[in-house]
Amino acid sequence: MSAIRLHKALGRVWASEPGWRGWLTTVNHTDLGRMFLFVAALYFVIGGILAMLIRAQLASPRSAFMGPEVYAQVFTMHGTIMMFLFAIPLFEGVAVYLLPKLLGSRDLAFPRLTAYGFWCYAFGGAMLIFALLAGIAPDGGWFMYPPLTGPIYAPGINTDFWLIGITFVEISAICAAVEITVTVLRCRAPGMSLDRMPIFGWYALVTAVMILTGFPPLILGSILLELERAFGMPFFQVAEGGDSLLWQHLFWLFGHPEVYIIFLPAAGIVSTVLPVLARTTLLGYGWIVAAAVSLGVLSFGLWVHHMFTTGIPHMGLAFFSAASTLVAVPTAVQIFAWIGTLWKGRPALRLPMLWLLSFFATFVIGGLTGVMVAVVPFDWQVHDTHFIVAHLHYVLVGGFVFPMLAGLYYWLPHLTGRRRFFRIGEIAFWLVAVSFHVTFLAVHWAGLLGQRRRTFTFGPDDAWSLLNLVASIGSFVLAIGFALVILDVLVNALIAARGTRNPWGAGTLEWAMPTPPAAYNFASLPEVADRDPLWADPDLPVRIARGEGYLAGAERGRREILAVDVASGRPVQVVVLPGNTALPIAMSAATGGIFLGLLLKTYWLVPLAALVVAAMAIRWVWCLGTDADAGPQAVGHGLRLPLASDSADPPGWWGSLFLIGTSLTLFGSLLFGYAFLWTVAPNWPPPSYLHSGWASPALAGIGSLLACLGIRLAQRRLRRGRLPLVPLGAVTAGCGALVAAAVTVMAGTSHDAHAYDAVAWVLAGHAILHAGVPGLMSLVVLAAALRARLSAARSGPVHVLRLWTDHAAAVTVIGLVAIWLPGWLT
Amino acid sequence: MLDPAGPAAETIARLWWIMLAGGGAIFVLVMALLLLAFRESGAEAGAGARRERVWILGLGLGFPLTVLAALLASALWVGERLLPRPAPEVVGVGAVARQWDWRFTYDDAPGRVTRGVLHIPAGRPVDVRITTEDVIHSFWAPRLAGKIDAIPGHVNVLRLEAWAPGDYAGASSEYNGPGYLGHGFIVRAHDPEAWRAFLADAPT
């Protein structure tokens, strides 16, 4: 078949709907990647405008431009927007757009989930922007320390917008992270073993796993603080057994990994772009992978370095200080590997390379000041001054924005299919590169002189008066520079001449397709035998287009990709992906209903919206099943593979596995919080413990046994070709018993009496949710069994259910025992 | 903090200047290596294994490990010296923060409470026990010492000392609401005579 006919056939199957409906119903990663990038850029502009307001206010002493209340909203929202609505979603956008192309796949593992995540991001972000425009935006600083953000000192709705809006947005981060993890592990080109994977794939994998383990503590913290604000559950109020330090631990357990979650994707871009522009290969691929992984691990061991001034014993601080400086080592490995790569090759000073050079200069300074503030005594002085503000801008702008701009200019021809013609970008680069240092070197110095961050003005006699004027002037030039970058991208995207394919002479697969890319990426999936397939075989793009790879065209009239073995990249399944659907946007709107109900305290809306979400979720998974075993499918080159829906571990099983990992991190954080309050909070132990009696523990024991045995029996029966109706019923009953046991905990305690009681309620609520979900799932699987949608081959749903059942039994029993144990012992 | 008026602040200021010099040298080194990569003579010779040894094992691992070990050891030593350890001559005072004032109490003059001004003797170490009645604040007199937070339900102790009599500005250094900017205090260091007079409740 000719390339053109293949293109037409694939286009019919993969294309999004025409017109505006296409935006709402698309599940295609190229579309959604662009949407993520566009919305993230929009938030960057909004956050940038807020930054300009701050610098305008601080340009002159005793400025009457903003009062302290407005200023508090502005600096809180600047930090919040840049962190949660710009940096993380920009990574998601880059990964969503690029990963399948780099990995030689046609789409991500869960296209509808990508769309659902995007709409959660869009709706959650809109809530925060609404608060900003209405003048009721959060105002407690982007890290929201209680008690200042608690019900007593912040009674208004401002803080609720943060807690609820950000949690809503974080759904999208979790979705994207599950998506990225499963895609990198399972949806690569045939033959692309892990050691042949493009380096960005490794960085994306580490980042995604970090999101899965780093975000749960913050989500938990937000839930606890919102529960305290809405229902008086005293997690952070010292008089009732809470402790405000718990928030700081939970926040920075998230907050520090967050910095590396932001940096690592940018480092992935440096590792991808820099060797191509130096016309060589990356020096020390294995070392860089090891460095990225160890950064990911180490970053979870240094959250306390944001808390050096909270009175933690000095030897405890010494440990975290050591960890914080140690984290500089894998960073140094990467920096020197990159410079070594430049020495190895013949670097060309093109525009992306300029941005990379600016990245080096800025990020190295940020890293050095980072080591300085990791030194405990020095931090005692500069903590909460403008020195920290300057340091974090060096790290985040230098370590994230500049590499992202290098990436933007590197992949712009890919996004647009055009060649840059207007050379505004070079002027913009010099404006940004120079004025950034003018601005933030001045801010460093102002901090050293004693200017505290978050003070809304200063007197004319303060030593930092002139420095602030310098910083403000610098920042306005900086803003002009960024505006010119946007202008440059816009004019070159809209009216520049069409360019050639692979303008940089890169070796990775994203350049093996015509640009801008078609919805299906590859007309056939290439067999990969090298880390840089395009250098190994320059004719590869033509052979792909001619359909010489796997799954050429769309013969079966549906969207198909390959799933591969995790390590070797050997193809093992054909995954049929869903087509265009409005289900994701509808479901995220319904999810928004839950959050809106909580925000506006119209609590009747919450269960209603949750019911709608559950109904949609059932419809969501129901579409994945089939009525009969399809048998092996021909994928080309004489290979026949089973469908994912005919397999024991479809992508949904892998997704569940990682989602459960995330859930366990949240549960672990909750147990950590309980232990922390018990040992550190002043007003412990509580006046009385819950005495469980024997009935509730027996109920929990029987329930977990019934559920765990039932699901195993169901698996066995199904393997022998029999429908496991009774065992599935046992799972339902077991989950019901677990829920009932948890309800007795709530009945025996008063949620707002003491932090112990409040924790008991949260653990019980957690158990109800996590046992209720598999209970509901077992009913769905039961229905599937009755409709003959299960068989020995089509057993995926039962395996997925087993993951969730075991998880439910574990967290319910452990959580309830943690509450009952003190009562048993006294 | 660059104009120290007490031993704790002086130690930290010295640490800063040393780190600035070291950090500056490292920055220049890295930038020089970076720019040398762009010199005309092009690719430098050398086998792949040797290149990895130099760049990754030497510069990437060995170099930062050495520098950081030295820095950490000295920082730990400095930090230990700054801790409030029992010593003769130590004066105990209490500081209670709230939105938005500071109240100070004195172990040597029970019942004395001053608002907005902390009186201390010059030339003697002072342990400030810091806590709060409402939200989190932070006690910071930059010319004398680093800062430590005032946290509900907890008491943190900060050691400070002023070499000479005089007034030293202090401020809360953890955002605490709209009154944050003005939430300052003064540390007034007295010579021995004035300190005795203060304790005896004479106007100072």
Summarised one tens digit per residue, pLDDT across range A330-339 is 999 999 999 9
| B3 → chain A, closest CA residue | A449
CA distance A92 to A344: 32
Q: Is the dihedral of CA A392, A395, A398, A401 positive or negative?
A: negative
Q: Is the peptide bond before B100 cis (omega within 30 degrees of 0)?
A: yes
Residues from chain B contacting residue A333 (CB–CB below 8 Å): 56, 60-61
What is the per-residue pLDDT across B117-133, written as a single tens digit (0 to 9) for each?
999 999 999 999 999 99
Out of B27, B43, B152, name the one closest to residue A364 (CB).
Answer: B27
How large is the average pLDDT for residues A503-529? 95
**Domain limits for position A786:** 685-825
Superfamily of domain B91-199: Cupredoxins -  blue copper proteins (2.60.40.420)
Write the CB contacts of A475 (distance below 8 Å, at least 6 apart in sequence).
A51, A52, A55, A435, A439
What is the per-residue pLDDT across B176-198, written as a single tens digit (0 to 9) for each?
999 999 999 999 999 999 999 99
Q: Are A501 and A511 in contact (CB under 8 A)?
A: yes
Give B45's pLDDT tier (boundaries 50, 70, 90). low
Write the CB contacts of B28 (distance below 8 Å, at least 6 apart in sequence).
none
Name the minimum distance, in Å, from the CA of A154 to any CA of chain B: 9
Residue A304: its pLDDT value, please?
86
Question: Is there a contact between A384 and B177 if contact means CB atoms under 8 Å apart?
Answer: no
Write the CB contacts of A594 (distance below 8 Å, at least 6 apart in sequence).
A605, A606, A609, A610, A613
Name the minimum distance, in Å, from the CA of B16 to any CA of chain A: 7
Question: Is there a contact between B19 and A376 if contact means CB atoms under 8 Å apart?
Answer: no
Residue A225: its pLDDT value, please?
97
Q: CB contacts < 8 Å between A and B, how many?
A: 227
Question: Is residue A799 assigned to a domain?
Answer: yes
Residues from chain B contacting residue A278 (CB–CB below 8 Å): 37
The SS3 call for residue B56 is helix
Residues from chain A contacting residue B178 (CB–CB below 8 Å): 67-69, 72
Give B202's pLDDT tier (boundaries 50, 70, 90). low
Distances from the Cα of A49 to the Cα of A214, A409, A444, A572, A691, angstroms: 29, 23, 22, 50, 56
Residue B122: its pLDDT value, please?
95
Residue B113 phi/psi, 5° resolution?
-130, 130
Residue closest to A394 by CA, chosen among A357, A426, A351, A365: A365
Strand B184-190 with B117-121, pairing: parallel
Question: Which of the 8 DSSP states describes residue A550?
Answer: B
What is the per-residue pLDDT across A489-508, written as a single tens digit (0 to 9) for each?
999 998 888 888 899 999 99
How large is the average pLDDT for residues A89-108? 97
What is the per-residue pLDDT across A460-484, written as a single tens digit (0 to 9) for each?
999 999 999 999 999 999 999 999 9
- The pLDDT mean for chain A works out to 95
CA distance B141 to B5: 10
Strand B184-190 with A633-636, pairing: unpaired
pLDDT at residue B43 tops 80 = no
What is the per-residue pLDDT across A313-372, written as a single tens digit (0 to 9) for each?
877 788 888 888 888 899 999 999 999 999 999 999 999 999 999 999 999 999 999 989
CA dihedral (A814, A818, A819, A822) in degrees, to 10, reads: 150
CA angle A46, A51, A54 (to 5 degrees): 130
A244: its two tokens: 């405000």
Q: Give chain A's domain count.
A: 1
Q: For an interface test with B, give the residue of A245, A305, A309 to mutate (most B CBs within 10 A).
A: A309
- The pLDDT mean for chain B works out to 90
Question: Which of the 8 DSSP states describes residue A134?
Answer: T
**Beta-bridge mates of residue A573:** A563
Question: Which of the 8 DSSP states describes residue B174?
Answer: S
A712: domain CATH number is 1.20.120
Question: Is residue A790 assigned to a domain?
Answer: yes
pLDDT at residue B2 tops 90 = no
A246: its two tokens: 């718990």
The SS3 call for residue A514 is coil
Residue A1: its pLDDT value, please?
60
Token pair 């905990």 is found at: A745
Question: Is residue A36 assigned to a domain?
Answer: no
Q: Is the dihedral of CA A120, A122, A128, A134 positive or negative?
A: negative
Residues from chain B contacting residue A283 (CB–CB below 8 Å): 51-52, 55-56
Rounded (to 5) percent helix, strand, coil in chain A: 70, 5, 25
In this structure, how many other beta carbons lie within 10 angstroms of the beta carbon of residue B201? Answer: 10
CA distance A667 to A215: 12
Question: What is the C-alpha R_g of chain A?
Answer: 27
What is the per-residue pLDDT across A533-586, written as a single tens digit (0 to 9) for each?
999 999 999 999 999 999 998 989 999 999 999 999 999 999 999 999 999 999
Chain centroid to Cα A818, Å, comes to 30
Q: Are A274 and A340 in contact (CB under 8 A)?
A: no
Distances from the Cα of A578 to the Cα of A53, A87, A582, A635, angstroms: 45, 29, 12, 19
Question: Is residue A467 assigned to a domain?
Answer: no
Q: Are B16 and A448 in contact (CB under 8 A)?
A: yes
Residues from chain A contacting residue B11 (CB–CB below 8 Å): 377
Question: What is the C-alpha R_g of chain B?
Answer: 24
Give B40's pLDDT tier (boundaries 50, 70, 90). low
CA distance A54 to A56: 5
Question: Is residue A242 assigned to a domain?
Answer: no
CA distance A549 to A541: 10
Name the minimum distance, in Å, from the CA of A159 to any CA of chain B: 13
